[in-house]
Amino acid sequence: MQQGFELDSLTVIPGTLFAGLSRDRFYDYDVENISKISGVKAATQVMQIGNVTLYNSRNNKTVKAFVATAVNFTDFVEMFSDRFVFENDVHPTEYENDTIVIGHKVNYPTEDDIIPFAVANDTIILTLGVFNQTHFPPYYELNYSFTVGGTLQKKGTPGITNFDYWIFLPLETVRDIYDTLESDLIFVEVSDSEESERVAEEIEGLFPPYKVTILVPLTFIKQVDRILTIVQIFLMSVASISLLVAGIGIMNIMTVSVVERTREIGILKAIGAKSSTVLAMFLTEAMLIGVIGGLIGISTGYGLSYALAYMLSSFMQPQHQGTAFQTPETQKMTITPVFSPEWTALAIIFAIIVCIIFGLYPARKAAKLDPIEALRYE
Amino acid sequence: MTAILGVRKVRKSYRMGKVIIPALRGVSFDLEESEFLAIFGPSGSGKSTLLHLMGGLDRPDEGEILIDGSNILELDDDRLAELRLTRIGFVFQFFNLLPKLTALRNVELPLTIAGISEKETLQKSREILKLVGLEERINHKPSELSGGEQQRVAIARALINNPKIVLADEPTGNLDTKTGWEIVQLMRKLNEKKDQTFIVVTHDPNIAEAADRIIHLKDGVIEGIKETPRRKKQ
């Protein structure tokens, strides 16, 4: 799956939004416990380091990466086989302690870049920021040498993490650098996406209350779906009311028209028009109102939906820029209205049917007029 | 001559609030083919009611109205409409043309209702408008025509389907004497030329004199039937 959500993938984050993001971390045994839950296919932990700088000694180039992610390569390649795809099929035969994998956007920072920042087997000097309170100054930078194992293909933004902006380092090496056994995130793959909510609940049960947040794509999709359903019901009820009002309006106009043309109807009947002819005449008129009204409605709807889509798109800006979950590519979300010929035709047919239904009463009224009385009408 | 239309003991009354007003109180007569008949009488004598009954626009309370020997009152509303479309033509006092349509379109109307092809409709309408002397005015609307011209359009419309019977309700009532006389002469000419039966309701004795026969109606009964010198000549 290259686009949309990876429904079978859960992300476990320490802390909750309500309790504030705590400094809690995960450990190896957390991953082990999660792996034991039934329905979990695989689980892997990652550690994330903020802005890092990469220097390639071969071509003397420097780039910055938003997120350096320390991973267990073996697990990672298996879990994200769709997204963790190497450029030109050049991938490491073995992941060493100094292997680095570079995301597409880090390797080609701008659209114009044709020559990559690095290729496999290049030596990269990585500058990492370290924060240590026992040290003075508490923040300092360290340089480490890594060998490029491969570079990734461009994959866009499936779900909430965009590998294009990431670089990947071996978890054990980074743990050694920081002298820690902790990790920041756990990625979980479930065997059946339908079970993802149950699995998420069980994972939550492993931790004390309010210690973890689990991002479940299925739940997110269900919530969006629920909101859309509510919006749809609301729009339907507004539409039904407008339809009723419009229908009564049509009935009113046509009744007035019948009264105004009483004499004409009398003349037509006197010269031999049957009641059914008069009925057909007025129903045709109602149908014409439907066709013209339908066409006006469709063109108005066309214009309005583009205006609305434009407005909504400009509202949908991300709140947290530059974090692990928001990357420059997710910043703009565009909504494009979809017009299908079937629905357009259906709308016109519906408009015609409404006009005929509400035109029936005045048309029958006209058809039933007594010719002599109609002729006397002033 | 054979009777094309028969009126037998026809009675008709109207209810106005709680009062019942008798309009026709037992009227009987026969009409021969290609006859030009005038129904003459003061206003309120029931002549318009009689005309509406003969044209199948209304139904009597009692009695029979026979066209070609069959009682039209046994026909349902649709059949009556068909009869009005194919066998009867109406001419009214106030012309009753559709104001938004041109003279040509007004004349075409019965053919359009009958579902005749557009080509034939146009050809027939032009012919008949020429016959009533309006070939120059076919694209004018009623508001652009004089009273006499409007009545000619109405006559053309009444004749377009080649009906056996033409019923005219005070056709000259809304016209000056000279124009009125011209209209009667036109109807007379058409009656002789096309062998159609004409029934003209009028309260003008001069117009009535143009007919073959005059039925004098008063208070809903026939007071007398008079044959004019024209008839006697035949």
- For A31-49, the pLDDT digits (tens) are 999 999 999 999 999 998 8
Q: Are residues A242 and A300 in the same domain?
A: yes
CB B153 within 8 A of CB B103: yes
* A314 CB-near residues (< 8 Å, 6+ apart): none
Residue range B191-223, pLDDT digits in tens: 888 888 999 999 888 888 889 999 999 998 998
Same domain, A99 and A244: no
List phi, psi (to 5°) of A103: -70, 160
Residues A268 and A328 in one domain: yes
User: Considering the domain boundaries, does residue A2 fall inside one?
Assistant: no
- Residue A301 domain boundaries: 225-376
Same domain? For A114 and A195 the reply is yes
Mean of the per-residue pLDDT values of chain A: 85
- Domain end call among A180, A215, A250: A215
Question: If pLDDT is split at 50, 70 and 90, which confidence band does A323 have?
Answer: very low
Residues of B with CB under 8 A from a CB of A: 52, 55, 57-58, 77-78, 81-86, 90, 92, 96-98, 109-110, 113-114, 157-158, 161
Do A86 and A190 reside in the same domain of the chain?
Answer: yes
The pLDDT of A165-174, averaged and rounded, is 91
| Contacts of the segment B115-118: beta carbons below 8 A, 24+ positions apart | none
| Whole-number pLDDT of residue A345 | 92
Report pLDDT for A105. Answer: 87
Q: Is A360 on the interface with B (CB under 8 A)?
A: no
**Is residue A165 domain-resident?**
yes
- pLDDT band at residue A321 using 50, 70 and 90 as cut-offs: very low
- DSSP class of residue A153? P
Residue A24 pLDDT > 80, yes or no?
no
Last residue of a domain, one of A160, A195, A215: A215
- Considering chain B, what is the average pLDDT of its residues? 88
Tokens of A181: 């056994």
The pLDDT value given to residue A5: 60
E-strand ranges in B62-155 read 62-67, 70-71, 88-91
Conformational region of residue A20, where left means phi above 0, alpha means psi within -120 to 50, and beta covers everything else: left
Residues A194 and A297 in one domain: no
Q: A192-243 pLDDT, tens per residue?
A: 888 888 999 999 888 887 788 888 888 888 888 899 999 999 999 998 999 8
Using alpha carbons only, give the angle B104, B107, B171 rounded to the nearest 5 degrees: 120
Q: Across the interface, do B81 and A269 touch by the CB < 8 Å criterion?
A: yes
**How far off is chain B from A360, nearest CA to CA, in Å?**
20
Number of domains chain A is built from: 2
Asked, for residue A3, whether it belongs to a domain, the answer is: no
Q: How many CB atoms lie within 10 A of CB A152?
A: 23
**Residues A110, A251: one domain?**
no
In a domain, A155, yes or no: yes
Identify the residue among A261, A269, A271, A277 best suited for mutation to test binding to B, counting B beta carbons within 10 A and taking the highest.
A271
**Are the beta carbons of B90 and A271 separated by less than 8 Å?**
yes
Interface test with A, best of B96, B108, B164, B170 (most A CBs within 10 A): B96
- Within the 238-277 window of chain A, which residues sit less than 8 Å (CB to CB) from chain B? 263-264, 266-277
Q: Taking the model in full, what pTM does it have?
A: 0.66
Asked, for residue A110, whether it belongs to a domain, the answer is yes
Residue B90, strand partner residues: B167
The enclosing H or E element of B201 equals strand B197-202
CA distances from A218 to A9, A35, A163, B124, B157 (A): 9, 20, 21, 76, 75
Residue A27 lies in a domain: yes
Using the beta-carbon criterion (under 8 Å), do B81 and A267 form an inter-chain contact?
no
User: What mean pLDDT comes out for the span B75-88?
Assistant: 89
Residues A161 and A270 both lie in one domain: no
In a domain, A266, yes or no: yes
Domain presence at residue A14 = yes
Q: What percent of chain A stands above pLDDT 90?
A: 41
Residues A183 and A99 in one domain: yes
Contacts of A38 (CB under 8 A, 6+ apart): none
Range with lowest mean pLDDT among A152-156, A316-320, B191-195: A316-320
Q: How far apart (Å, rounded) are the C-alpha atoms in residues B197 and A157?
A: 90
Burial B173-182 (b: 16+ CB within 10 A, else e): bbbeeebbbb
Using a CB-CB distance cutoff of 8 angstroms, which residues of chain A are in contact with residue B57?
Answer: 270, 371-372
Helix (H, G, I), strand (E, B) or coil at A33: helix
Same domain, A58 and A154: yes
Among A215, A235, A265, which residue terminates a domain?
A: A215
Interface contact A93, partner B, CB < 8 A: no
Q: Which residue has the higher pLDDT, A330 or A294?
A: A294
Over residues B103-114, the mean pLDDT reads 93
pLDDT band at A65 (very low <50, low <70, confident <90, very high): confident
pLDDT beyond 90 at A177: no
From A263, A273, A372, residue closest to B81, measured CB to CB:
A273
Query: Are residues A288 and A159 part of one domain?
Result: no
How far, in Å, CA of A161 to CA of A186, rounded? 13
pLDDT band at A2 (very low <50, low <70, confident <90, very high): very low
Whether residue A32 is found in the same domain as residue A78: yes
Report the range of poorest mean pLDDT among A94-98, A121-125, A278-282, B199-203: A94-98
Give the span between the Cα atoms of B214 and B234, in whole angstroms. 16
Which pLDDT score, from 0 to 100, does residue B1 have?
Answer: 54
Q: Report whether pLDDT(A4) > 60.
A: no
Could you tell me where the beta strands, DSSP code E, fall in chain A? Answer: 9-14, 40-49, 52-56, 61-65, 67-71, 99-102, 123-131, 139-151, 166-170, 185-190, 212-215
Name the minimum distance, in Å, from the CA of A267 to any CA of chain B.
7
| CA–CA dist A255, A361 (Å, integer) | 8
